[in-house]
Amino acid sequence: MHRFLLTLSGLLLFLQSQAQVAEPNNRPWYVPEHVVLQTAGGIGMVAGGVGYALGVHRRFDTDVLVGYVPGRYTGDRAFGIFTLKDTYSPFTLPVASRWQIRPLSVGALINYTPSQMLNRSRDDKYSYKNYYWWGSTVRLGAFVGGRVGYAFDTPAGRKRVASLYYELGTNDLYFVSLLTNTKGLALGKILTLGLGIKLDF
Amino acid sequence: MPAAEQQLTTQNLVRLTSRPKSANDTLRFVFVGDCQRFYDEAEDFVASVNKQRNIDFVIIAGDISDFGLVREMRWVHHRLRKLNVPYLTVIGNHDQVGNGRAVYQSVFGPLNYSFVYGGTKFICLDTNGREHGFQGQVPNLGWLGQQLADTANSRRSIVLCHVPPTDEDFDPALALAYARTIRGSSQLVFHLAGHIHRFTNGQPFHDGVPYLTAYNFRKRRYTVLSVWGRRQFNLETVAYAPAL
């Protein structure tokens, strides 16, 4: 067991040493570091946004996205969805000089759909019995995924990474549905697949 | 969403009317409600109904979904489509939460509709007044009155909805007028609803009109209603155990 743990910690140290470290820059802290474009994954048919890579080894991505669901998929008017998403990718595998793989990401998100079309569950309609315990406009989500990145230099000589990622996730209401239906509902039924790209500024 | 999973009410009515039934035959159908988030039970329900003989169709008295999500309605459909007979639904209050109303209209169809089968006119309507803010518009009494008055192709009528008029989620300003409209029909057999998750059979308005409510899926019970003659009916309770 000790041996296993030693091997594991050795591996982790190796992976950490390989993790890409941000070049120092003089940008103000609030200027985002990357742009994101995503399709599906519970945050809109298409969603775009910006984000930051945080932590010493830049393993935490915090992204803010605005998603869009066209009217033909809502049954009426289009939806705008505002999402805050956090992704943690503990390992980076350098597979070639310019390519890097982050084999595992875990993350969580919260989003808000302010559409007037949505029939609110949390107004005082049923307050007499706290009938609807969930919010119809706010969803919580969680996901696992992975990411492949390609490092390149800009014409000005600055290092940048462009990456492609996927996320397999679910939301609070799907998850609750699964909990009480161990036989009648399979995990695969509650999953949502999202695909996206991230590009450093 | 595949076209095969849209406008299910129309699809089921096409299936139903492809097996025409004489008005002189006994009509037999399953009456149950509130399948929201009971997928385990839904599979057992389908297995049980498929063992019954001489069932014409199944009625789900609303609350197909719990959160008004399209995936929920499709999950339910993926189970109920295994029934040997068509099934028909009416919208429940849970089906109207969030984007549910638009979802229900796209997956199932109109919120108010009627059909005639075996000489019996089924009038299915949205009575979820609280979801519409108790603005005096739901249920649509004008439409209900017209439907009850139009008896051209039927000898019996049955009203189906989700929230019964005796419930506090029914628009209180409309409850008595609703009962009066129902009572005005000379060929009404009974009034069917869901929402309260248990079977009841009474005459809450003391006007000779039977008001029935349905078991929800969790009870693992449903009622088989047989209707014949002018307005004779019989009810049987079927209990189904979980599959081992």
Q: Is the pLDDT of residue A10 over 70?
A: no
Q: Do B79 and A74 touch (CB under 8 A)?
A: no
Task: Tell me the count of A-B CB pairs closer than 8 A.
Answer: 71
Minimum-distance CB partner of A184 among B40, B97, B131:
B40
* pLDDT, average across residues A61-77: 94
Q: Is the pLDDT of residue A6 over 80?
A: no
Asked whether the predicted pLDDT for residue A175 surpasses 90, the reply is yes
Q: What ipTM was assigned to the predicted interfaces of this complex?
A: 0.91
Tell which of A125, A187, A192 to mutate to test the B interface (max B CBs under 10 Å). Answer: A125
- The per-residue pLDDT for range A77-101, each reduced to its tens digit, is 999 999 999 999 999 998 888 999 9
**Residue pair A197/A37 in contact by the 8 Å Cβ criterion:** yes
In this prediction the pTM is 0.90
B106 touches chain A (CB under 8 A): yes
Q: CA-CA distance, A101 to A94, in Å (whole number)?
A: 6
For B42-70, how does the pLDDT look when each residue is reduced to its tens digit (9 = 90+)? 999 999 999 999 999 999 999 999 999 99
Q: C-alpha A17: how far from its chain's center?
A: 24
Could you give the CA distance from residue A196 to residue A167 in angstroms, rounded to a whole number?
8
- H-only helix segments in B22-90: 39-51, 70-80
What are the residue ranges in chain B where pLDDT is below 50? Answer: none
A27-64 in b/e form (b: 16+ CB < 10 A) is eeeeebbbebebebbbbbbbbebbbbbeeebbbbbbbe
Chain B partners within 8 Å of A177 (Cβ): 37, 39, 66, 72, 75
| Cα gap B15→B86, rounded to integer Å | 6
Q: What is the pLDDT of residues B124-136, one digit of tens each?
A: 999 999 999 999 9
| Minimum CA–CA partner of B133 in chain A | A125
Given this model, what pLDDT does residue A13 score? Answer: 43
Instruction: Give pLDDT, residue B67.
Output: 96
Tokens of A37: 């474009």
